């Protein structure tokens, strides 16, 4: 497993053909705390699942699973579709600002669609929470920042 991203609350690993979000606290948690971490991940999974069911462009959510690490321990993880691509911030190019702003507008449309079904995010404009696949499809990520009205 390799780390492919890191946010304020956890790491994203490439786990086979999927992405796995593991919260930072998982590595130091006592067994009782792991249940709390599972609940936090389950909340993210439920949000991602509802967005996906409503045709919002997000990675396919697979669920919460315990996955083994090289240290011999097992940690809870939110498994989702692995998207090969770059975040919007990485695509910013002063020589091609038109393409960047078109992609940004497409992401804003997805965010507005999510708002239309009652979802909000604390940080919709954070460029690292928008992934553009190698095929040009936009995906919203980081469901820990989303909530339902």
pLDDT tens-digit profile of 86-96? 887 777 776 76
Confidence of residue 108 (pLDDT cuts 50, 70, 90): confident
| Top mean-pLDDT range of 8-17, 20-29, 77-86, 100-109 | 77-86
Whether the Cβ atoms of residue 29 and residue 79 lie closer than 8 Å to each other: no
**73-78 average pLDDT score:** 89
- Please give the mean pLDDT across all residues of the chain: 85
Q: Is residue 100 predicted with pLDDT exceeding 70?
A: yes
Rounded to a whole number of angstroms, the distance between the first and last alpha carbons of the chain is 36
Confidence of residue 104 (pLDDT cuts 50, 70, 90): confident
Contact 38, 78 (CB under 8 A): no
Give residue 124's pLDDT band: very low, low, confident or very high (50, 70, 90): low
Taking Cα atoms as reference points, which of 143, 111, 149 lies closest to residue 40? Answer: 143
Distances (CA, A) of 28 to 37, 40, 51, 68: 11, 16, 31, 15
Query: C-alpha 43: how far from its chain's center?
Result: 12
- Could you tell me the CA-to-CA distances from 142 to 19, 31, 35, 74, 126 in Å, in that order? 12, 25, 20, 22, 10
Shortest CA distance to 135 belongs to which of 89, 98, 83, 60? 83
Q: What is the pTM of this model?
A: 0.85
67-69-71 Cα angle (round to 5): 145
Give the mean model confidence (pLDDT) for residues 68-84: 90
pLDDT at 27: 66
On the 0-12 / 13-18 / 19+ scale of CB atoms within 10 A, 19 is: buried
Position 125 pLDDT exceeds 60: no
CB 46 within 8 A of CB 57: no
State pLDDT tens for residues 14-55: 999 999 999 877 666 677 788 888 888 999 999 999 999 999
């Amino acid at each position: 497993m390799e780390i492919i991203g890191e946010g304020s609350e956890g790491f994203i690993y490439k786990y086979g053909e999927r992405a796995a979000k593991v919260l930072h606290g998982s590595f130091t948690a006592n067994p009782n705390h792991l249940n709390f971490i599972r609940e936090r991940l389950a909340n993210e999974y439920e949000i991602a699942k509802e967005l996906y069911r409503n045709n919002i462009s997000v990675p396919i959510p697979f669920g919460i699973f315990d996955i083994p690490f090289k240290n011999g321990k097992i940690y809870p993880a939110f498994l989702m579709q692995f998207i090969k691509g770059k975040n919007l911030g990485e695509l910013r190019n002063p020589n091609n600002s038109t393409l960047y702003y078109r992609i940004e507008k497409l992401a804003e449309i997805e965010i507005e669609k999510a708002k239309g079904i009652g979802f909000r995010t604390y940080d919709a404009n954070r460029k690292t929470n928008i992934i553009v696949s190698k095929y040009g499809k936009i995906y919203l990520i980081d469901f820990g920042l989303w909530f339902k009205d």
